[in-house]
Structures are given as C-alpha cells and as structure tokens.
Amino acid sequence: MDEEDYGLLKDFINKMGIKEFTSIFDRRIGHVTIHEDQEKAFLILEKLNSLSIPSLNWSIIRIENYYTPKEFQSFPIYHIMAESFVEVPENRIKEIYDYSQACNNCGWGRKQINDLIIKDIKKIDKIHFTKTYDFEYIASRGLGDYIVDSGFTGISLRDVHSRTKKYIGYQLEPTHILSPIRTDLLEHPKSWNCESCGIQGLNIGGLFSGQDEYIIIENRMNHMDFNYTKEKFGSGQNAHQEIVISSEVVKAFKEFKVKRISLQPVHIIDHYGKKLTPDFKPKPSKVNIMDYKSHFYESLKRDLFD
C-alpha cells in the first residue's frame, strides 16, 4: 500500500468512527487490523469496496464465517478465543507453575500452583477478555463479577495479579469437559505429537461451511455454559483445550461490550453424522474480497526481496 492510498484509508477509518484498530506502515507496506463486531464489519467491507484503492488488499479473519447476525445468533453454543495476548514475567514462572511432572521435551504436564502473575495491562478494563501465550484466559474484574452474578454453569474463577496491582482480573477455568468431538468428520491437515510423552495437539479444519469451524459435537452430548474440549490444540507447552460457551454467555458478553474476541459456531450432529445446526451460504456475496496469495503476495515478495 503506497502512502497516498494509506492516507485515503486513514481518512476512511476516521470517518467511520473506527477506534479499535492497529496499523503498521512504512514507505512501501501498510498493514491495518480493524477490530469490529460482525454487523459493522460487513458495512466496513461494503464501504472499502467503493473506495477503489488499487493497492488495497484485505482479508476477513473470522467474522463469524460470513453469517448474518440473525443466522449467527441461531446457534446454541460457540467456540470463543481472545484476540490479544498478555505475558507472564519470565522471573515469576517458577513461582506460578510446578514442572516436577512435566515432560522434559514439550513441557506438557506442568501444574499451576499459584495465581497468575502477568505484565501490566492498561486496556484490560476496556477489552475485558484476553489470554496468556499459553492460552490461559483472563477476564477483567468487572466481567468476572458479571459472570458470577449471572449464575453461569461450568466455570470457576481465580485471581490474577500484575506486577503493580494485587488484583487485576480473573483467570477463567472451565470445570466441565466435553466428550470427544467428532474428529472423524474433520480434515486433519496437520497434527503434532511429542516424541517423549506422546501428547497430541490437533490442528484441524472443518468440512461443513468454513475453515474455522473445527468443533463438532453430537446432540446427546451434555454441555454447560462454559466447557473445555477434551482434545488439545496446538503443540508443545502451548497445546491447550479450547473453550466452548453457550449462547447465553455470548449474549452476556455482548451486553458487557467485550472486545477483541472471535466467536465461531459449534456444529451439532446426530448420532449418524447428520448436521442439525443451520446450514447457510457464505455472505456477503457482493463484497469483492481479493485472494491474498494469488493477487498480492508474489509481487510483494519480488518487490521486497529480489
């Protein structure tokens, strides 16, 4: 993206009143990440399409697999992920975790023995939901209290400290673990197994209507408002269980204006593998979304590195 085009895009962002965005820009490259809810994301894409900036390329990252708001709200349970990260200070790790039973190769099996201590988060009370690089989920004090007051099932809270404050938030720890998901209905382009302890981390993509729909459960499976998957995703010490939440929790998060999160529908099937959850076509159909790899990447690589 050249400087002139970047100026047009910046003016557009200001006119749209988009406050939650980050940008990386130099003389030849501009990268802008916009964090918005689904309805506004569609509007932004339609407006971007009318700007006609030749060097502008964009991609949609998990705006609920193109579902309209009404369609998206019809699902009973969802997979949730925070889009921001916080760090645990290196010099406090041994104070927080016990490695006596952990694998020497991948680190899996460590136990948390004390409350999390993290580096200061200035925006925790604005975004309300984040995670450590080891996928430990953290809620602001306000959101944590809201979860308790709402009486949601399957969740326990643990205090989180920062280096300067005694209490900065809560660590969310689901107490309910789902039965095995239907991995037989999923593609497995990549999986990881530790050579020492054999722990497996999955990296799988869905078959139904979107590459991010990788959690499928049977209708007879019991689930609570907060759930952990039995399966682990990722690799090594970062192999982690994903969190699945009910539609009631999604509504509560929206009412509390939680930001920087990704939500993906969890598909439900019957015992024979027939999908019971809605089947919608990808939307929006009128938005011209360029293919990053074919349209942009090769020319950019040649320009920068040849």
Task: Kindly report the backbone phi and psi dihedral angles of residue 151, in degrees, each rounded to the nearest multiple of 5, phi listed first.
Answer: 70, 30
Q: How far is 113 from 89, CA to CA, in rounded Å? A: 16
- pTM given for the model: 0.71
Closest alpha carbon to 199 in 108, 134, 101, 97: 108
Position 61 confidence tier, pLDDT thresholds 50, 70, 90: very low
Question: What average pLDDT is seen over the chain?
Answer: 75
Q: Look at the block and give the residue holding tokens 């929206």.
A: 254
**pLDDT digits over 116-167, tens only?**
998 877 778 888 999 998 899 999 999 999 999 999 999 999 999 987 777 8
Position 171 confidence tier, pLDDT thresholds 50, 70, 90: very high
What pLDDT is stored for residue 285 in this prediction? 41
**pLDDT digits over 247-273, tens only?**
999 999 988 988 888 888 888 888 888
Q: How far is 15 from 7, CA to CA, in rounded Å? A: 12
What pLDDT is stored for residue 246 in this prediction? 95
More confident site: 115 or 298 = 115
**pLDDT digits over 30-45, tens only?**
555 555 555 566 667 6
**Average pLDDT of the segment spanning 65-81:** 79
